[in-house]
Structure formats: C-alpha cells, structure tokens
Amino acid sequence: MDEIDVDDIINKYAKQLSNSDIKIVDSITCAQMEINRENFDNGISTYGYYSIKSNLLNGKIEGDLNGDKQTDYIANYSCENCYGGNGSGNYLSNCFFLTSKDNELIVNEEMTNDFKKKLIDTIKKDFGDIYVVKPEKEIMVNGIEFTEIKNQIAYGTFNINTDACQGSPFPCVEGTFEYDANNRTLKMLGKITVEQ
C-alpha cells in the first residue's frame, strides 16, 4: 500500500458528517457562541471538530480488522459543543472503521454501522433505552472508546446513560465490549453503576 495520510482521511470524513440536526464545524465557527446558541434553540446542535491528533480519546488505533494482513484503523473522537451546554448530553463522540481494499484505505460504513447497531441494540436489550442518542449518518452513540485491535477483534469500553439512570446527570452504565469484525459479532459485559 502506498503512503497514505490516515489523519487526512479521518479528518475529511469526520467533518462531512453534518446533517440537518448536527453541524460539525471548525474552531472559527465554533467560537460564534451567540449564533450557535440560536441554532441550538432551533434544534441544530453545533460541535467543534479540529483534528484526530488533538483528540482526548485514543484518536485512532490500528490493527488488522478484515484479515488481509494490512493495517486498518478505527477512528474514535469527541467534539465539544459550541453552544455553551454542559453535562453528558452536550458532547458528541463517534467512531468509524477504515479498512484496506485494493491497496487503498476506505471508510467501511457497512462495518461501522453494523457495530453501532449491534451496540445500541445490545445496550437497549440489557440496560434499557439509551438516554442520549443523536443522529449522525446512520447511528451515533456517545460514551464509547476503542482501546485495541487484536486478531480481527476490536476491544473497547463504554460509559453511557440509559433510562436506567433515572434522571442522573452522569452516565450510569459502564463496561467493556469485543467486536469481532470478521464474524460481525459483539460481546458486551456491563453493569449499572448507580443505585436504583
């Protein structure tokens, strides 16, 4: 595979995920607090994305997801809101998979959406409806972080709100997960961390 600027691919893709409800913007637009608050009041949430390198999470991790012995990546990032909100519902985090195909690195939306759907369905089944869900492309969920790719399995942690939190301002369901990218299976081990 030729020299690929992975950060550039990640940054371009992350910035294009804006939709009618969520705007991903640069630092100049994010600094326009009054306009962003007005947009928020009108149902449009604005978040600042700067670069994968400046991310507080793992940013990107690498390993072989699709079994072709080429380096694949998972981009994992958070964006702060640009409208002055605070609390667990006022940030945006996302992830997506980049896999090698024909000597290129592509954003694998099928694998990404499969993971997100399985994650959300499993959390809803085991812990109740997700408290904070906002649309981004197909599905987006806050509070997940990938930590490692090993033997085509992506490992990570989650720390989220569900209806089990009963009004708590803090995420109350946490645990770990393993996503087998080859077989498209998800194993989760989690627990509710607040008193019921």
Over the stretch 148-187, which tens digit does the pLDDT of each residue have?
999 999 999 887 765 556 666 665 677 889 999 999 999 9
* pLDDT, tens digit (0-9, with 9 covering 90-100), for 87-120: 555 667 788 999 998 888 999 999 998 998 888 7
Which pairs with CB-CB distance under 8 Å and at least 24 residues apart come from 114-119?
114/184, 115/154, 115/179, 115/186, 116/140, 116/141, 118/179, 118/184, 118/185, 118/186, 119/144, 119/158, 119/177, 119/179, 119/186, 119/188
pLDDT at 149: 94
**What are the phi and psi torsion angles at 105 (to 5°)?**
-110, 120
pTM over 0.75: yes
Closest CA to 96 of 138, 134, 133: 138
Q: Distance between CA 73 and CA 47 in Å, rounded? A: 23
- For the chain, the structural domain boundaries read 6-192
